[in-house]
A and B are shown apart, each in its own frame.
Chain A
């Protein structure tokens, strides 16, 4: 028997205090019934004696302390899951908003999920070809990885993420793909960009969209990525699908978290974000992965805009400590017209080493990758020196490296948003660029690969 309480004591959005409750438990989902019958949802953050501190998921507007009723539902927040979710659009709380029928649930899942037993994980090792050279060649994505895009306001992260969603495939494999897309506090236009792109390519039929737009309640954003990941887990581990999850924008998520934390008067950590931001983000990101004995996988691409392009801001910083690398976009390259403007040097894929090489990509991949990184780094240093002291101050080798850096940006990085390069093409372009350099500088590549792959220099 579910009890109704008319004992709301206090509302200070997004928090509400209900008194004289009985049997209420931590993290329980609640429903508030307004005098006009409208239902809003909330969850329990703290119970002390007969007093419950509750977090609203929607606006507090219109809630009347005397007349509104609160019911606690006896379970944490859940999502109704089913294979029919594909092709549908939901709001941030998991309700269909595309005008279609309700989902006939196969199951109801707790959106918080459960931590995955590390002994049950399967190590991500299957190469995903995204068709983007800077990712495939240098920061290889593998199935089950979480690889965020660190971007800034006004940078084309959406174009890159859509390109990845469109082109990503595992070589020689015909398994069922699905995309779960969570819009977290982004604008209608940005969200439509993705949805239109999915529609144009026909991907929409295998896409589940959870949409919390900028004008939707901020607190709802805390639930939105969890809804998306719950759907992804269902599709991956119960329906054997290869799921790509795109979460955009994590910065909005963290700000919603900060809002709730501030309302609870918690001791703030860096920049006002709660001390548990790391743990909280980890409970999202760590839901990516593969499990032993399961066919499906969850590969995650969270997108976050770095405030002031500052990588040491708590949100990108803590994200970088959890995710398996990062793809960083650069404003400088964007201004130069490089598309996609991937800043290669600070970008990283931690899982690349297991996903490349013989039988996965090509034998020369690891060596050329390291060589390209090192050469580009040296080339950039040389160019910097050149701007201060002029070209004459460079040694002959350094001049070649500077030339290499320019060509690398033009030909390797800047491929446009529609070019889909195979891994072979990417590797071969790498070799062409390396042929600019003196051969004795190619120390990171095995001599036999240099013999085999280096194009003849004229």
Chain B
């Protein structure tokens, strides 16, 4: 047992903790505040406390639990909201009211709830780490697989079935030395250590997000990493919410790290109402929320990211595709900086600790497509997407730069687009995806070569528009040739009629691959037809003013289930109108 000698905000120093290990979780003071040991010097431990330390002083006791910071993994996590150190917020509310009071001790998984456990293994089966003992239908959307914990193998001695609490013994495993291990539905895992897997693969399938600029221009692979940097008001959170809603993954872990309380409430209220476009289940049934809002203790903010990714890895180990959305990694980095400052460490750039980049890299590296432990060679993936909030929107700062070195996809949000209410405000000139080449085969196989060809054509037109705009700014539009004017017109259509997507309109919030393809294809067909007409000397103003243009502008609002006939009709009209103009033009 240790005695506190110093308190400075969330940092506490205690003596007499010779028996404790670095990274142990400790209980501090009479209120048993939760803390974690950062450093040890002799028997002096520097402890970061995950709760407000007001009222704590020298002389108070510190007790180590002898365990590193861990999470409880098992049924009951989905459809739930936790704080940064995995305490369930609804249960805390029931215990302590509307505010978060200190020293509240609530188990992460409900101890009383009964789960219907159906065994898969039989007595006598030889099982290794990661093999499935049985399953629990955790929510209507997700079948929870109860696995043999990593590091354990042996022969099944007995296995239960039927209704059980998470703490009940559901199987007994006898290892090679003849020792019996009683297994419950709970696994514990230290959050700062990545969970083991058999092997890792290079990601090769895209994650469908239903967002046109993402899926078509800058796709992310399942098991990939992405960053969404942007100044405030540019729509980072809306992009993150859209991904959480519409991504074609099995499980979503949403980490609200140092962000607004109302945003978490928004997710909590909205997700149960929204249906997954693929299976019709409420989205909340596949979602775990981790909330350390900006008014909650800063030390737990640092832990929240690890709590989230560890839960993600656990679901991955069942063979699921998991997406981790962290909003925002900048707040996590600031929490790191704050603790580093209090530890009086030598600061690196802008006061951030020198280990900032390596910590960020460790986090993103926990993403990936893996073959899970277990004999059935199932595959799972963790896709990590982090928002970055650079001060003043200037991405030359350390967190953005360290993130850019690691992630493969970069969706750069732009405030000038946001001011013009072009949403999602992802800048098509500065964003990139390094998965284009690895994903190309998939797109080609699904939709033919035209999908990627269209993408390249669209990117080319947008690039050309940026150059033409320079000229227009200097000498005006009249100096451009009709072909260049058409390029600008097409680019405008790509921007307004294709890239802009309204997250708050039901018909537009989610766009299937096919709808995306047809929509872009339509705009590019218009471009080809007009270019052909221009080459035959037809007046461009007539071409730009055809009636079909307004319909193309509204095409994205077409019913997601019945858009094809609408698009066919628009294309036919467009063609007819251009032909008519051409005929008229040639007669003269």
Q: A123-B262, A270-B391 are in contact. List 11 more A-B contacts (CB 8 A).
A: A25-B55, A25-B57, A26-B56, A46-B7, A115-B100, A144-B262, A268-B351, A275-B338, A276-B298, A286-B261, A291-B98
> Which residues of A are found within 8 Å of B294, using beta-carbon distances?
278-279, 282-283, 285-286, 322
Q: Mark B488-505, 1 if CB is under 8 A from A, else 0.
A: 000000001000001010
Chain B's closest residue to A325 (CB) is B233
Is B347 engaged at the interface, CB distance under 8 Å to the other chain?
Answer: yes
Contact between chains at A393 and B57 (CB < 8 Å): no
> Which residues of A are found within 8 Å of B233, using beta-carbon distances?
320, 325-326, 346, 348, 350
Can you sample 6 A-B contacts with CB below 8 Å? A48-B6, A115-B99, A275-B337, A283-B294, A325-B233, A443-B554
**Separation of A285 and B293 alpha carbons in the complex (Å):** 12
Is A388 engaged at the interface, CB distance under 8 Å to the other chain?
Answer: yes
**Separation of A47 and B331 alpha carbons in the complex (Å):** 27
**Separation of A110 and B7 alpha carbons in the complex (Å):** 19
Beta-carbon contacts under 8 Å, B282-296 to A: 291, 293-296
Knowing A275-B334, A373-B421, the reply to whether A120 touches B347 (Cβ < 8 A) is: no
Partner pick for B55 among A76, A353, A378, A395, CB 8 A cutoff: A76
**Separation of A354 and B270 alpha carbons in the complex (Å):** 11
Contact between chains at A269 and B55 (CB < 8 Å): no
> Which residues of A are found within 8 Å of B415, using beta-carbon distances?
346
> Which residues of A are found within 8 Å of B13, using beta-carbon distances?
48
Chain A's closest residue to B549 (CB) is A440
> Which residues of B are found within 8 Å of A118, using beta-carbon distances?
81, 89, 256, 261, 264-265, 268, 291, 293
Knowing A291-B98, A320-B232, A366-B504, the reply to whether A283 touches B295 (Cβ < 8 A) is: yes
B62 to chain A, nearest CB (A): 14
Q: Mark B77-100, 1 if CB is under 8 A from A, else 0.
A: 000010000000110110001111
A146 to chain B, nearest CB (A): 9
Knowing A25-B55, A118-B265, the reply to whether A47 touches B393 (Cβ < 8 A) is: no
Contact between chains at B55 and A275 (CB < 8 Å): no
Chain A's closest residue to B335 (CB) is A279
A422 to chain B, nearest CB (A): 24
Contact between chains at A287 and B93 (CB < 8 Å): no
Is B124 engaged at the interface, CB distance under 8 Å to the other chain?
Answer: no
Of B197-205, B469-477, B558-566, the segment with at least 4 beta carbons within 8 Å of chain A is B469-477
Is B537 engaged at the interface, CB distance under 8 Å to the other chain?
Answer: no
Chain B's closest residue to A293 (CB) is B98
Is B392 engaged at the interface, CB distance under 8 Å to the other chain?
Answer: yes
Knowing A275-B337, A322-B294, the reply to whether A26 touches B553 (Cβ < 8 A) is: no
Is A84 engaged at the interface, CB distance under 8 Å to the other chain?
Answer: no
Knowing A47-B6, A120-B98, the reply to whether A286 touches B337 (Cβ < 8 A) is: no
B186 to chain A, nearest CB (A): 23
> Which residues of B are found within 8 Å of A116, using beta-carbon distances?
98-100, 261, 293, 295
A409 to chain B, nearest CB (A): 15
**Separation of A350 and B262 alpha carbons in the complex (Å):** 10
Is B58 engaged at the interface, CB distance under 8 Å to the other chain?
Answer: yes
> Which residues of B are found within 8 Å of A440, using beta-carbon distances?
549-550, 553
A356 to chain B, nearest CB (A): 10
Contact between chains at A25 and B56 (CB < 8 Å): yes
Beta-carbon contacts under 8 Å, B1-58 to A: 5-9, 13, 52-58
**Separation of A110 and B55 alpha carbons in the complex (Å):** 12
Chain A's closest residue to B291 (CB) is A118
Is A121 engaged at the interface, CB distance under 8 Å to the other chain?
Answer: yes
Contact between chains at B477 and A395 (CB < 8 Å): yes
Is A203 engaged at the interface, CB distance under 8 Å to the other chain?
Answer: no
Q: Mark A284-312, 1 if CB is under 8 A from B, else 0.
A: 01110101101000000000000000011
Contact between chains at A26 and B392 (CB < 8 Å): no
Knowing A276-B338, A393-B476, the reply to whether A28 touches B55 (Cβ < 8 A) is: yes
Knowing A124-B262, A291-B98, A374-B421, the reply to whether A117 touches B391 (Cβ < 8 A) is: no
> Which residues of B are found within 8 Å of A26, using beta-carbon distances?
7-9, 53-57
> Which residues of A are found within 8 Å of B296, using beta-carbon distances?
115
Beta-carbon contacts under 8 Å, A58-84 to B: 75-76
**Separation of A313 and B351 alpha carbons in the complex (Å):** 17
> Which residues of A are found within 8 Å of B8, using beta-carbon distances?
26, 45-46, 48
Is B532 engaged at the interface, CB distance under 8 Å to the other chain?
Answer: no
B533 to chain A, nearest CB (A): 20
Contact between chains at B268 and A119 (CB < 8 Å): yes
Knowing A49-B6, A267-B341, A287-B295, the reply to whether A114 touches B100 (Cβ < 8 A) is: yes
> Which residues of B are found within 8 Å of A266, using beta-carbon distances?
341
Is A317 engaged at the interface, CB distance under 8 Å to the other chain?
Answer: yes
Count of inter-chain pairs, beta carbons less than 8 A: 217
B261 to chain A, nearest CB (A): 5
**Separation of A278 and B389 alpha carbons in the complex (Å):** 12
B445 to chain A, nearest CB (A): 35
Is B542 engaged at the interface, CB distance under 8 Å to the other chain?
Answer: no
Q: Mark A117-135, 1 if CB is under 8 A from B, else 0.
A: 1111111100000000000
Contact between chains at B331 and A275 (CB < 8 Å): no
**Separation of A27 and B49 alpha carbons in the complex (Å):** 15
Is B350 engaged at the interface, CB distance under 8 Å to the other chain?
Answer: yes
Partner pick for A119 among B6, B89, B504, CB 8 A cutoff: B89
A370 to chain B, nearest CB (A): 5
Q: Mark A382-411, 1 if CB is under 8 A from B, else 0.
A: 000100110011110000000000000000
Contact between chains at A324 and B391 (CB < 8 Å): no
> Which residues of B are found within 8 Å of A46, using beta-carbon distances?
6-9
Is A321 engaged at the interface, CB distance under 8 Å to the other chain?
Answer: yes
> Which residues of A are found within 8 Å of B98, using beta-carbon distances?
116-117, 120, 237, 291-292, 294
Contact between chains at A123 and B338 (CB < 8 Å): no
> Which residues of A are found within 8 Å of B422, using beta-carbon distances?
374
Is B167 engaged at the interface, CB distance under 8 Å to the other chain?
Answer: no
> Which residues of B are found within 8 Å of A110, using beta-carbon distances?
54
> Which residues of B are found within 8 Å of A435, using beta-carbon distances?
none
> Which residues of A are found within 8 Å of B262, using beta-carbon distances?
121, 123-124, 144, 289, 324, 351
Beta-carbon contacts under 8 Å, A318-372 to B: 318, 320-322, 324-326, 345-346, 348, 350-351, 353-354, 366, 370
> Which residues of B are found within 8 Å of A100, using beta-carbon distances?
none
Partner pick for A373 among B7, B420, B472, B504, CB 8 A cutoff: B420
Interface centre among A118, A267, A294, A348 (most CB of B within 10 A): A118
**Separation of A311 and B261 alpha carbons in the complex (Å):** 24
Contact between chains at A279 and B99 (CB < 8 Å): no
**Separation of A191 and B444 alpha carbons in the complex (Å):** 67
Is A23 engaged at the interface, CB distance under 8 Å to the other chain?
Answer: yes
Is B269 engaged at the interface, CB distance under 8 Å to the other chain?
Answer: yes
> Which residues of A are found within 8 Å of B59, using beta-carbon distances?
22-23
Is A112 engaged at the interface, CB distance under 8 Å to the other chain?
Answer: yes
> Which residues of B are found within 8 Å of A54, using beta-carbon distances?
none
Is B478 engaged at the interface, CB distance under 8 Å to the other chain?
Answer: yes
Partner pick for A312 among B260, B391, B478, CB 8 A cutoff: B391
Is A417 engaged at the interface, CB distance under 8 Å to the other chain?
Answer: no
B507 to chain A, nearest CB (A): 11
**Separation of A122 and B39 alpha carbons in the complex (Å):** 40
> Which residues of B are found within 8 Å of A322, using beta-carbon distances?
260, 294
Is A314 engaged at the interface, CB distance under 8 Å to the other chain?
Answer: yes
**Separation of A440 and B551 alpha carbons in the complex (Å):** 10
Contact between chains at A443 and B550 (CB < 8 Å): yes
Contact between chains at B475 and A389 (CB < 8 Å): yes
Is B375 engaged at the interface, CB distance under 8 Å to the other chain?
Answer: no
A318 to chain B, nearest CB (A): 8
Chain B's closest residue to A348 (CB) is B233
Is B506 engaged at the interface, CB distance under 8 Å to the other chain?
Answer: no
Is B449 engaged at the interface, CB distance under 8 Å to the other chain?
Answer: no
**Separation of A370 and B100 alpha carbons in the complex (Å):** 38
B331 to chain A, nearest CB (A): 7
Is B258 engaged at the interface, CB distance under 8 Å to the other chain?
Answer: yes
Is B463 engaged at the interface, CB distance under 8 Å to the other chain?
Answer: no
A333 to chain B, nearest CB (A): 15
Is B394 engaged at the interface, CB distance under 8 Å to the other chain?
Answer: yes
> Which residues of A are found within 8 Å of B355, using beta-carbon distances?
none
Is A4 engaged at the interface, CB distance under 8 Å to the other chain?
Answer: no
Is B437 engaged at the interface, CB distance under 8 Å to the other chain?
Answer: no
